[in-house]
Amino acid sequence: MYMDQPIGVIDSGVGGLTVASELMRQLPKEKLIYLGDTLRCPYGPRPKEEVIKYTLEMVNFLREKKMKLLVIACNTATAFTLDILRETLDIPVIGVIEPGARAAIKMTNNMNVGVIGTEGTIESKAYPAALTSIHADLSVYDLACPKFVPLVEKGMFTGDEVYRVIEESLQPLKTIAEIDTLILGCTHYPLLADTIQAVVGKDVMIISSGEETAREVSAILGYQALLFEGERHPEHEFYTTGSSDVFEQITQQWLDITVNDVKKITISSNF
């Protein structure tokens, strides 16, 4: 049956595991097939055309699997390919930008929303577009934080050095406006959430795309009558274009999930 099929999750690498982890938590009966393009990560600094090409190649690989829904768990890939994929595929396609934007609209009181992300995501202006197309009166303050992903990839989530880098990076945002809501517009950033919260202060509400995306996946599946209805403890499948050992280590270290049998694959460019 269609509702028995898995949810596909694609990401530029391991960052999307924060989204996968929330999907597992909020939708424990749904099976995931995760593909991380670790070999060509990060997507953030790459030109738009390259991000589109790589993302379509990932989708091409996953197409052989029968998915009922696809999650683009990478902000940069969402910014550049969501519209294309919604037109191309005949299943629901959910990106990470709109759910974060909607959560910010729900939560902000003073209408000043901050967004941090990679260069690619911030330059795309996808968040300001998503936010103001729904709510024209919002003021959006966005900022690229190119130093954050390298911290996470080195396994540095807290500590003095991390605090210092985050404080310096967020300085422009702090002096511009009294934001009351901050969207973590990169799926790596939730791992830095505690330190980011300490830097911006407890009055700023921090929105993690992963949680919000999982929530919207649940809503869309529910609305389409596609939620799995029986009982099961699904075995998820993980694929990476890079080293499967490193992928397994990071999953264990970041998310406290043991993932065995990560398959290293090569993806072709025939879309």
The set of catalytic residues is 74, 186
Note whether 222 binds a second copy by CB under 8 A.
yes
Note whether 31 binds a second copy by CB under 8 A.
no
Whole-number Cα distances in Å, 95 to 68, 88, 232:
15, 15, 26
Q: Which residue in the set 17, 71, 94, 152 belongs to the binding site for a second copy (CB under 8 A)?
A: 94
Q: How far is the CB of 187 from a second copy (least distance, A)?
A: 17
| Contact present, 226 and 232 (Cβ < 8 Å) | no
DSSP SS3 for 95: strand
Whole-number Cα distances in Å, 154 to 7, 149, 163, 191:
29, 9, 15, 12
Q: How far is the CB of 133 from a second copy (least distance, A)?
A: 7
- Per-residue binding string, a second copy, 180-199, x by CB under 8 A, is --------------------
Q: Give the number of residues written for the chain.
A: 271
Note whether 133 binds a second copy by CB under 8 A.
yes
Sequence-distant (6+) residues with CB within 8 A of 152 are: 15, 188, 189, 191, 192
Confirm whether residue 44 is marked as ligand binding: yes
Q: Which residue in the set 178, 219, 263, 271 belongs to the binding site for a second copy (CB under 8 A)?
A: 219
The tokens describing 120, both together, are 């690619």
Confirm whether residue 43 is marked as ligand binding: yes
The residues of the shown chain that bind a second copy, judged by CB under 8 A, are 26-29, 92, 94, 98-99, 102-103, 105-106, 133-137, 211, 214-216, 218-220, 222-223, 227, 229, 231
